[in-house]
Chains A and B, each alone.
Chain A
Amino acid sequence: MSDTLLSVKDLVIHYETEDEVVEAVNNISFDIKKGEVLGLVGETGAGKTTTALGILGLLPAKVGHVIQGSIELEGQDLLKISEREMRQIRGKKISMIFQDPMTALNPVKTVGDQIAEVILLHDHCSKAEALRKAQDMLAMVGIVPERYRDYPHQFSGGMKQRIVIAIALACKPELLIADEPTTALDVTIQAQILDMMRKLQKDQGTSVILITHDLGVVAEMCDNCAVMYGGELVEYGSLEQVFDNPKHPYTRALYKSIPSLDKDVHRLEVIPGLVPDPSDLPEYCSFFERCAEKCPKCNKYDPVRTEVEPGHFAKCLQYMKEWEG
């Protein structure tokens, strides 16, 4: 499709150290259309952030390696271009909001400088012009523009995240990756930030990958939803498909484990067992040990992605017809 902005195919990312190899991302594929908001959901260690860093080409030097796959932005494979070209893309076409606003800002630079920095890098303009634009950005995220001379420590956590968002949106990127943008914030602030993000996203038509472990956030913000487990994309589909008709046992278990105001449940169900050790993943289904719906074959084969309904994929043996019987 021509309106596909980003297309990730068969991506495998490993972290290699002298003692072990961590299989952080295993063979994932997904597409994002222009203006689409994709929710990337999963437990801690599921490989969400690694995927994001992989897209931006910011995997830890020497340790993080893309083993295979492609990441195409408007048809251009980001894994094949030079670091120099990649720098042109970062901040301009793809930008990212990191999890902890407290540490994401450089403490010894004014916020104005930090916003202006990205503008200067990508839009050819003067320093003064960049600073003026930085003030506009501050205003856009709801901060008094005059505070552009202040240092990060003079702002509260929510304000800092607004600044981080201002930096990320300063060059009107085509894709914004937001890595748990609200996790570190108070609940009330979370809502404000999400509201603001949604508004800005609508206004600018930006595509967004929203990484979160909070299904509620996904429900509020996203068009599509991808569920990650053990570095794999276990379920992918539109918000309605995934939420109303979850196919993968993990997704189902996930819903049961979240508290809900609507339903009166006596006790929450806990997914038994632990997240698999990413340095020692099984050759069969990673979720096998914890799966409530497992069958005897499940610990023999690794399932492949299956389209369970149009646009809705799941990675589970029970949907692989050829394996039944």
Chain B
Amino acid sequence: MAKMHTPAMEKIEKKNRKRKKPVNSTPAYEAWKRFRRNKTAIIGLVVVGILILIAIFAPLIAPYDYTMQDYTAMMQAPSKAHLFGTDAYGRDIFSRVIYGTRYSLIIALFCTIAALFSGGLLGIIAGYFGGRVDTIIMRIMDIFQAIPMIMMAMCIVSVLGNGIPQLVAAVMFASMPTMARNNRAAILRVRGSDYIESSEAIGVGQVEMILKHMIPNAAGVMIIFFVGFLAVSIMMMSSMSYIGVGLAAPTPEWGLILNDGKAYITSAPYMMFFPALMIMITCFAFNLMGDGLRDAFDPKSK
């Protein structure tokens, strides 16, 4: 009903009629609604979905064993037999890139989870308890932040040696300050809100408070950083592979494949092109998604 009907109203009504049942408007739903409107973010989400499927079904998609060397078919340009060509060892680059999806995503996920659990938790604790706890934690984070992230990660890996656990640890320590800072800010924002104060007033326990109230409400910010950090860790891995630290051959991680291929950039560019493309697509997708999430959860920033 309205005082005056305009075409704009009819459009909206038409849209509303299509929707079968009215949905309750939770913050998450509102965020999803905003996210869904963001076309670039949806593209990101779809690409990420496809990548996850590729990672899961890698053995079905990849035509060859990713470690299989065939010195009778070295450095072949892309063909029907080898979609992305072969590398200097006659390995099928397509298969390696497909398996690489699995390795890269999983390692990136490990790194991100580790970062979120260490830095994120510290941030939540600092934000929640405030006062001295906050000061101590944040001053420690200041210390970590004094060393540039990639340099910190490389120093740690160079000391601990190559390998997935070492890499995860390095990325975790290196990203701790940023993670802690962001999560703390998110918690502080929630903490200031009225309903947390009222929950406190009715005597909700601290752990319960963090788990049931703070984390779900700060979840938006955490999801943004989670997605964003997946891209960051993939980039960090490829940088470290370039320097020659982090992961060791023959793990089919994109950074390593890319690093193998970069030797042939001018003579056989396809060896570098495909892994670089995968890294680019993946990071792009995560970044687009992250950007969409940022707008969705934090509409004020747009």
Q: Which A residues form the contact surface with B (CB < 8 A)?
A: 12, 14, 16, 18-21, 23, 26-27, 65, 67, 231, 280-283, 286, 302
Contacts and interface: CB of A to CB of B under 8 A. Distances in A.
B6 interface: yes
Contact of B12 (A19, A26, A282): A19
A280 B9 CA distance: 11
Identify which of B1, B2, B3, B8 gathers the most chain A CB atoms within 10 Å of its CB.
B3
B37 A14 contact: no
Interface string B1-27: 111101011001000000000000000
14 contacts: A16-B8, A18-B12, A20-B12, A21-B8, A26-B3, A26-B4, A27-B3, A27-B4, A65-B8, A231-B3, A281-B1, A281-B3, A283-B3, A286-B3
Contacts of A281: 1-3
B13 to A, nearest CB: 10
> Interface majority SS on B: helix, strand, loop or mixed?
loop
A276 to B, nearest CB: 10
A231 B2 CA distance: 12
A67 B6 contact: yes
A279 B12 CA distance: 12
A280 B2 CA distance: 6
A283 B1 CA distance: 6
A21 B3 contact: no
B35 to A, nearest CB: 14
B2 A23 contact: yes
A231 B4 CA distance: 12
B6 A282 contact: no
B1 A21 contact: no
A27 B2 CA distance: 13
A274 to B, nearest CB: 17
B39 to A, nearest CB: 13
Contacts of A231: 3
A62 to B, nearest CB: 12
A65 to B, nearest CB: 8
Contacts of A286: 3
A54 B101 CA distance: 56
- Top 8 nearest A-B pairs (CB, nearest first) are A16-B8, A26-B3, A21-B9, A283-B1, A281-B3, A21-B8, A23-B3, A282-B1
Contacts of B37: 18
Contacts of B2: 21, 23, 280-281, 283
B4 A12 contact: yes
Interface of B: 1-4, 6, 8-9, 12, 37
Nearest to B1: A283
B107 to A, nearest CB: 40
A14 B1 contact: no
A21 B1 CA distance: 11
B8 A280 contact: no
Identify which of A16, A20, A21, A286 gathers the most chain B CB atoms within 10 Å of its CB.
A21
Nearest to B9: A21
A218 B9 CA distance: 36
Given A16-B8, A18-B12, A283-B3, 13 more contacts: A16-B6, A21-B2, A21-B9, A23-B2, A23-B3, A23-B4, A26-B3, A26-B4, A27-B3, A65-B8, A280-B2, A281-B1, A286-B3
B14 to A, nearest CB: 12
B72 to A, nearest CB: 60
Contacts of B3: 23, 26-27, 231, 281, 283, 286, 302
A168 B263 CA distance: 68
Nearest to A19: B12
Contacts of B12: 18-21
B79 to A, nearest CB: 49
A15 to B, nearest CB: 10
A213 B1 CA distance: 28
A283 B2 CA distance: 5
A280 B6 contact: no
Contacts of B6: 14, 16, 21, 67
B287 to A, nearest CB: 25
Contacts of B8: 14, 16, 21, 65
B25 to A, nearest CB: 11
A33 B9 CA distance: 36
Nearest to B4: A12
A12 B1 CA distance: 16
A210 B8 CA distance: 32
Contacts of A19: 12
A65 B7 CA distance: 12
A233 B9 CA distance: 23
Nearest to B16: A19
A19 B13 CA distance: 9
A231 B3 CA distance: 10
Contacts of A20: 12
B19 to A, nearest CB: 11
A281 B1 CA distance: 6
A12 B6 CA distance: 11
